[in-house]
Amino acid sequence: MDWIDTALPGFGFTAGQLLFALIVIVVGIIIGRLARMTSNKVLSSVMSENASNLVQRIIYYFTIIVATLAALSYLGIDFTGALLAGGILGIVIGFATQSVVANLISGIFLQIDKPVSIGDPIGIIDEHLYGVILEINILSTSIRTFDGVNLRIPNEKLFTSKIHNFSKYVARRVVISVGIAYREEMKKAIDVILKTVKENSLVLAEPAPLVYVDELGDSSVNLSIRVWAPSSVWFEVRTQIVQQIKKVLDEAGIEIPFPQRVIWKGESST
């Protein structure tokens, strides 16, 4: 076993040290593989296959790099110069690819946080964009806008925006305001509207529809109509009941007034 302590010609370490360093690297590879397998089980349930594969690769290579650096450091190899050069190179690459990295990180967080899922109708409020999520990739998300255009949004933009997810919950509220003339009987108008919305099969009976006097406006008594509908038919319910309310108010002879202003003409003092 003398060869273990024999210094390798031209290197500053022995064969035994080299063997130990190789073992450290091999152990690093094994740990990397185990970490990848474990993370596969954990991540596959919380993120998409693409994102999961990417995170697994990062974990795997990071473990191997750490093991290799530890092994080389054990052999007495000085990394100061390499680290300095690597650091400068890293800064350059970091500046050049910061948007890519930001999108990548946002993509991973989108998969973990899941503010949206494929098929969700959403609205990105700041951008005034509305559509259905088609695909969430690691750098960008595809949306089919409601007017039928395919839109690709960088994940960073999506992740940092205010997002309205219209199908997250099973039910949504429809709110409609309608003004009636001051001479009309409020209770009659409320009863007529309430009966109409209750007769709509898609309007939920529970929570019960609500119609009430919301405010005394400049030109009209403003009624607020609040009904709940299954999220999947929210738009349909809204369009139906607006039309139905106009129709029944017309049939009941209840006036929806135009904006009006009383002009008072003062008498001349002379």
Partner 1 sequence: MKKFGSYAIEDGFSIQFRKNKISLTKTGEDSYIYRRDHEGESASKTVFSSKKGKVKLAIYPVRPIQMPRRLAHNIMVKLESPIALPPKSSVTHHLTMPIEIGVFTISKKSNYMIDAFSLSFPKYGLYGTPDMGYICRLHNSTISSEEEAVQYEEAEIIMKFQNKSANWATIHKIVMDAYMVDLYLSGDTVYLEASNLVIEDGDVASLFLNNKPPLQGLEEVPVAAESVKKFRLGFLDRTGFGVEGKFIMEHGY
204-221 CB burial, b ≥16 within 10 A, e <16:
beeeebebeebeeeeebb
Distance CA 169, CA 207 (A): 14
Q: How far is the CB of 171 from partner 1 (least distance, A)?
A: 4
Residues 188-207 that bind partner 1 (CB under 8 A): 201-202, 204-207
Residues 56-75 that bind partner 1 (CB under 8 A): none
24-39 CB burial, b ≥16 within 10 A, e <16:
bbeebeeebeeebeeb
Give burial (CB, 10 Å; 0-12/13-18/19+) of 223: buried
Pick from 163, 169, 165: nearest CA to 229: 169
Complex with partner 1: residue 118 or 171, whichever CB lies closer: 171
Q: How far is the CB of 234 from partner 1 (least distance, A)?
A: 11
Complex with partner 1: residue 40 or 232, whichever CB lies closer: 232
Complex with partner 1: residue 36 or 172, whichever CB lies closer: 172
Complex with partner 1: residue 81 or 119, whichever CB lies closer: 119
Radius of gyration of the chain (CA): 34
Residues 211-230 that bind partner 1 (CB under 8 A): 228, 230
Question: Does residue 127 contact residue 119 with C-beta atoms inside 8 Å?
Answer: no
Question: Does residue 138 contact residue 107 with C-beta atoms inside 8 Å?
Answer: yes
Complex with partner 1: residue 85 or 208, whichever CB lies closer: 208
Q: Show the CA angle centred on residue 89, arms to residues 84 and 94, nearest 5°.
A: 125
Complex with partner 1: residue 59 or 233, whichever CB lies closer: 233
Where would I find the H helices in 44-170?
A: 49-74, 80-96, 98-113, 155-159
Residue 122 touching partner 1 (CB under 8 A): no
Torsion of CA 165, 172, 193, 247, to 10 degrees: 40
Q: How far is the CB of 115 from partner 1 (least distance, A)?
A: 14
Q: How far is the CB of 251 from partner 1 (least distance, A)?
A: 20
Binding mask 148-177 for partner 1 (x = CB under 8 A): --------------------xxxxx-----
Using CB under 8 A, which of 18, 25, 176, 233 touches partner 1? 233
Using CB under 8 A, which of 142, 165, 219, 232 touches partner 1? 232
Binding site for partner 1 (CB under 8 A): 168-172, 201-202, 204-207, 228, 230, 232-233
